Structure 1
Amino acid sequence: MKRVDVTYVLLYDSKEENILMVKNKGAHSSYYTLPGGAVEDGETLEEAAIREVKEETGLNVELEGIYAVSEAFMEERGHHAIFFTFKGRITGGELSIAYPEEIEETTWMDATTAKQYAYVPTAEVDGVIENHSVVPYILRGKVIHKTLS
């Protein structure tokens, strides 16, 4: 199976009551997710998350840290997907859809409804949504290991 890294961003409205979700167009049916997508070659997780939110929603965001890490074996696609979900904050832009061939709609959902679609176990989502907890994301840069002579 091919490993695929995917980033998502959890974004609350100004009252921190609703979560921004996007409706993706699938091959067989549409489905809701947090804004996000696959990490491209040479791109950091943070860069991918920010780019994907902009492409899917038209919004500019700052990331506050890691919200959750989860994984799934998507046998029909031959993928082992690792999902990195960040908590973010909207800093600008206007809600719009740049790629209508991929995204049907953007919508604000109450947290209870949004939890049904998030790619993390329900117990983890409950704790994070109630506590708004994050873990810092740290880019260590390029690490070069020297060999012993």
Structure 2
Amino acid sequence: MKKFMSAMLLVHSFGKISNFDNVIIDSYKGCHIKSNLNQYINNPKLFKQHLIDFIEKSKSNNNTAIWIDLQKDQLRLAPTLIEQGFKMHRVSENILQFSKWLPDCQSRLPDQSTHYVGVGGIVVKGDSILLVQEKNGQRKGAWGTPGGLVDQKESIIQAVLREVKEETNLDCKVEDVLYFREMHDARYGKTDLYFAFRLRCLDDQQIKICDQELMDYRWVPINGILDFMKKENQKPHVINFYKSVQERLTGDECKYMNIEERKEMYYGQMKYYVIFKPRF
């Protein structure tokens, strides 16, 4: 099981074990090179010499891995890293991260992010729910639930409230989790996780759809939602989704999950997280 995560860094320097003057060690004894690499851009031979020295001394210290980030203006150093056995681990807007596993065994470093997380808001008003009609892309003209992808450092609770607000201008309160889906080989071949929440609309008079993303909206009776979807020629998986939603909203026991939002100290930092507990 791959456990060697790069996120948990200990707040101390490893010391000058080579010519790299800023090295941080994580809780799995992985070395994170934090030195300014600009000094090597025009001298890749010196970078190679220092890197080889660092690898050997890291091995002698029984470190598990080396992590190093290249800024977009430092990519001239990438061939040297690849030559020395580093692998491209992840890429962001401005950083290409490399990693190298040091022990003589199969790497236990985690792969780059493998999942996307999406959220949808089932906005309830009386005995009706809100549906919106897409304006763009492959789903142009399709009816569905307002929502989207979770941003970095954003909880799924924060994300669904933000997405509904952006798309419909509605302020809502999360009341329940109605639906969870896992789909492999989705966007960019990654696994897609999707959470649908029951939301209570706080003021439906303020509704105003985002005309850059949506064409129209409807308040559709919960008991008539399947007929509406079939009339609008929606795809079978969409109809099945709203069948599950209808069952959750009209069943004898409508409350599915209890949601607890918490803030606690975790590895010296205050963390926000959400716990979902079944209601009995």
Q: Normalising by structure 2, what TM-score?
A: 0.44
Ranges in structure 1 where 5+ consecutive residues have no aligned partner: none
Partner of 2:260: helix, strand, or coil? coil
Runs of 4+ in 1 over 6 A off after TM superposition: none
Distance apart, 1:119 and its partner CA: 7.2
Distance apart, 1:11 and its partner CA: 1.7
User: How many positions carry a matched residue from both structures?
Assistant: 142
Match of 1:27 in 2: 137
Does 1:137 pair with 2:259? yes
Match of 2:147 in 1: 36
Contact 1:33 1:118 in 2 (8 A): no
Deviation per residue, 1:117-140 (Å, 9 max, x gap): 467373x33430212323122345
Distance apart, 1:38 and its partner CA: 0.8
- Name the amino acid aligned to 2:193: I
Pairs within 5 Å for 1:99-110: 100-110=211-221
Taking a change above 3 Å as real, the CA distance of residues 114 and 141 of structure 1, as seen in their structure-2 partners, is: farther
Aligned equivalent of 2:209, options 88, 91, 97:
97
Match of 1:13 in 2: 125
Taking a change above 3 Å as real, the CA distance of residues 140 and 120 of structure 1, as seen in their structure-2 partners, is: farther
Match of 1:120 in 2: 241
Match of 2:167 in 1: 56
Identity %: 20
Aligned equivalent of 1:47, options 142, 154, 158:
158
Partner of 2:125: helix, strand, or coil? coil
Alignment RMSD, CA only? 2.7
- Name the amino acid aligned to 1:135: M
Partner of 1:6: helix, strand, or coil? strand
Q: Which has the larger radius of gyration?
A: 2
CA distance in 1, matches of 2:199, 2:240: 16
CA distance in 1, matches of 2:135, 2:176: 28
Does 1:81 pair with 2:202? no
Contact 1:64 1:87 in 2 (8 A): yes
Q: Report which of the two has the higher share of helix.
A: 2
Contact 2:186 2:192 in 1 (8 A): no
- Name the amino acid aligned to 2:116: V
Distance apart, 1:95 and its partner CA: 1.0
Taking a change above 3 Å as real, the CA distance of residues 126 and 61 of structure 1, as seen in their structure-2 partners, is: closer
Q: Normalising by structure 1, what TM-score?
A: 0.78
Ranges in structure 2 where 5+ consecutive residues have no aligned partner: 1-112, 230-237, 269-280
Distance apart, 1:31 and its partner CA: 1.4
CA distance in 2, matches of 1:125, 1:32: 15
Deviation per residue, 1:32-55 (Å, 9 max, x gap): 111111111110111001111111
Contact 2:181 2:194 in 1 (8 A): yes
